[in-house]
Amino acid sequence: MRRKWISNIQLFRELLYSFSNVQTISPKKLNIYERISLIRGTNDDKVYYIPDTDRPLKHLIPSVSVFKSYKRCFNDVLIVSQSELCLYGDSNLIRQSGQTKIYLLENGEKRWIPTLEIFRQHGYDMRDVVTVSGVEFAYYPEGEAVN
């Protein structure tokens, strides 16, 4: 059995869940269940990673080779309705695992954000930064730094 985070009341209602069926359990018991972290829409082959954050975000896995680099299998991917998929915002900020530099994904390129001041000026939030593997990081060509 796996657990899925439901980010808002709209999604809860769309999935036809009922509050009368909600049970309170301890965090220890909740952690027994594997968190669903990969989804795709019913009419879409794109697979998205759902970061473990308090924000409803999805991060596109850009290729099959990148997907395989994470040592996951396609049985791990939960198929969701297109309307549910649309409730997640797109995550376009990445950091390579083990590194501190943050990049903006834009037009298929990664663009370094050189300072925290620039990061903040653009209204970005650290909670939206997704840590990616070296394989995924190398997938994106380097673009101009963000000003």
Helix%, strand%, coil% for the chain, nearest 5: 30, 25, 45
The pLDDT of residue 14: 80
Tens digit of each residue's pLDDT (9 = 90 or more) over 32-55? 998 899 999 998 899 999 988 778
Determine the average pLDDT of the residues in 3-19.
Answer: 83
Q: Return the structure tokens found at 47.
A: 């697979």
* Segment 101-134, tens digit of pLDDT: 999 999 999 999 999 999 999 999 999 999 999 9
Residue 68 is predicted with a pLDDT of: 93
Q: Structural domain boundaries of the chain?
A: 1-91, 92-147
Secondary-structure class of domain 92-147 per CATH: alpha beta
Token output for 116: 């925290």
Q: Enter the pTM of the model.
A: 0.85
- Per DSSP bridges, beta strands 38-41 and 48-49 are antiparallel
Structure tokens at 129: 């930064």
pLDDT for the residue 10: 79
